Structure 1
């Protein structure tokens, strides 16, 4: 029997009530995904072929022209933007992030600015804001497209921000001016029609985070038009070796086990019973609700947009004056217990994600919340 590796290394495991967050490892692999990784681990295979064949399988499932597995959604965005700027030109590929003399401007609606738009500047792109904090018009987007415009980045989760252009409108305007669109659709995975709709939107490249599908934290998917997927792949780690092109994506390495795992996880996600998955999460939330029901200074409500969100979450409101604790103190106490429980701070509320919990952790989470939120 193998020793507990966390104990051996002196690491304290935590209960993850934050969901698929990078800081805690992203996801829990299913038995099928683990088995695929173990099978791939037994034999070597040329990574170009692994990327090719897995990409073909992924593209078929998503209805895309082409696809390949990347080392996370952020890497997919970086490689996609790199490909938009370099095309298939080996000299340009070797120069990144030096983009002098290239079309290097990537447009992004100002109201859509977000933490991960750093993906534009990593490969040498220049971020150009369009519109203002109140929104963007189609005319403003059209006027912003110039001789140095390489592409448009669209943050799919931000589509509900008041005043922003829809993805369909951005694609229309960009394509009228011969400019490609790349979409950050990291967690845009459910409903399945919504996920596939992002791929079928007319956007040239679409990026997903594979951790949300149940693959490992370290993987993503880039899919879309074949010409742009090929350009992105030429900027990736395998091309650095096979094409000797000094691509800036050399550090975005994946192994065969990770690549095949994504194909299995995607297939599972597209074929699983999501009603059953959501019912499980609803039952977990109800356990927490019942445990906190008699705390008069605590409110609970379930938040879920069934038309665009894969997971439910429980929002817990507290009265800091009655409780005698701030939100920050509550979170710190949750993390300092044994076992530590990590929860989200959603501004005025605690946000509890239950989709990454193990079955035997649900009761522990509920009891710890009651303990920390009790005035006894």
Structure 2
């Protein structure tokens, strides 16, 4: 990123070449780097309404005369699904909180439908499966937009997700790119329209969603590193930090430590520290609060009243010792 700061570039070319690099790495037709996954979803939503028609592109967020409805399963609603509506589109909920059938999803598609949206998660519950939802969208000659923000590990899962729909959106922060970056990948014709709506288009709806050359190179470098990293070694390194934490707490009465592995999470694992509240005199929420206001500040999660959860993913070398010392002081009673 420092090297990128030393030179001026043609931004259009940089976005094109960086997108081609990502596409080659993930086995898709094309990609476009954005100001985070949310921005990717906004640009994708604009794209499915306008296509490549320059007049339609220019009229957003006025959707008069455009197909402006995006169909989305109600049980998949989440805090950021507002992104699908930002360029003027409407989110049409189908099914209920408990699930959706393929027939219900199919019947919800009408003359004003521009696309189907989907939230990719490891466990889809009673939602219509992704592949089936894509098939339903395609049967109506419509694209499917997928939010796969953090679904990047294992690496074959990352690639399968990238290849799973017409437009798939990811957050760069999950593979250690700048927090303010992300990308959308998929069909080349649709990505070309995403570029039109991006911040250097002729009248771009995404003008405020800028990324600079340093961020673009940061994301390209980060995804290159992520896809070439030996994640088994990374997992063992995290285990080593948990071992230090467990050793620092092993002589405390009523305290036990157990590593929990997460099959489809970029963070890989976490450490559950269970303790006897009768001995410590405080529950997990109280321990977490005291860690949070301590010096240095330590952030942990809780699981029930007697367990705190620690992730090594964001720790720097040696910080496990700091956490062990703080916990030893709080849990010894």
Q: 1:337 aligns with which of 271, 282, 294?
A: 294
**Match of residue 25 from structure 1:** none
Distance in 1 of aligned mates of 2:247 and 2:205: 52
Q: 1:225 aligns with which of 187, 204, 223?
A: 187
Further displaced range: 266-275 or 84-93: 84-93
**Match of residue 97 from structure 1:** 61
**Match of residue 89 from structure 2:** 125
Further displaced range: 221-230 or 120-129: 120-129
Deviation track 1:129-186 (CA, whole Å, cap 9, x = no partner) reads 12112211111111111111111221112x5142122211111111112121111111
**Do the aligned partners of 1:84 and 1:232 also contact (CA within 8 Å) in 2?**
no
SS of residue matched to 1:120: helix
Q: Structure 1: 5+ residue runs without aligned partners?
A: 1-36
SS of residue matched to 1:85: helix
Further displaced range: 312-321 or 186-195: 312-321
Distance in 2 of aligned mates of 1:321 and 1:99: 62
TM-score after normalising by structure 2: 0.92
**Do the aligned partners of 1:331 and 1:343 also contact (CA within 8 Å) in 2?**
yes
**Match of residue 177 from structure 1:** 140
**Do the aligned partners of 1:81 and 1:232 also contact (CA within 8 Å) in 2?**
no
TM-score after normalising by structure 1: 0.82
**Match of residue 192 from structure 1:** 155
1:276 aligns with 2:239: no
> Could you tell me how far 1:354 is from its partner in structure 2?
0.9
Q: 1:58 aligns with which of 22, 45, 49?
A: 22
Q: 2:269 aligns with which of 305, 312, 321?
A: 312
Distance in 2 of aligned mates of 1:367 and 1:294: 12
What number of residue pairs does the alignment pair up? 331
**Do the aligned partners of 2:60 and 2:87 also contact (CA within 8 Å) in 1?**
yes
Q: 1:236 aligns with which of 172, 180, 198?
A: 198
Q: Structure 2: 5+ residue runs without aligned partners?
A: none
Distance 1:91 1:318, change over 3 A: farther
**Do the aligned partners of 1:71 and 1:220 also contact (CA within 8 Å) in 2?**
yes
Q: 1:150 aligns with which of 104, 114, 119?
A: 114
**Do the aligned partners of 1:214 and 1:265 also contact (CA within 8 Å) in 2?**
yes
SS of residue matched to 1:359: coil
Distance 1:318 1:121, change over 3 A: farther
SS of residue matched to 2:301: strand
Structure having greater relative contact order (Cα 8 Å, sep ≥ 6):
1
**Do the aligned partners of 1:111 and 1:161 also contact (CA within 8 Å) in 2?**
no
**Match of residue 73 from structure 2:** 109
> Could you tell me how far 1:45 is from its partner in structure 2?
0.3
Distance in 1 of aligned mates of 2:254 and 2:41: 44
> Could you tell me how far 1:331 is from its partner in structure 2?
2.4
**Match of residue 315 from structure 2:** 357
**Match of residue 206 from structure 1:** 168
Distance 1:304 1:103, change over 3 A: farther
Distance in 2 of aligned mates of 1:160 and 1:212: 19
**Match of residue 324 from structure 2:** 366
CA RMSD in angstroms, aligned pairs only: 2.0
Distance in 1 of aligned mates of 2:332 and 2:322: 19
> Could you tell me how far 1:345 is from its partner in structure 2?
4.4
> Could you tell me how far 1:256 is from its partner in structure 2?
0.6
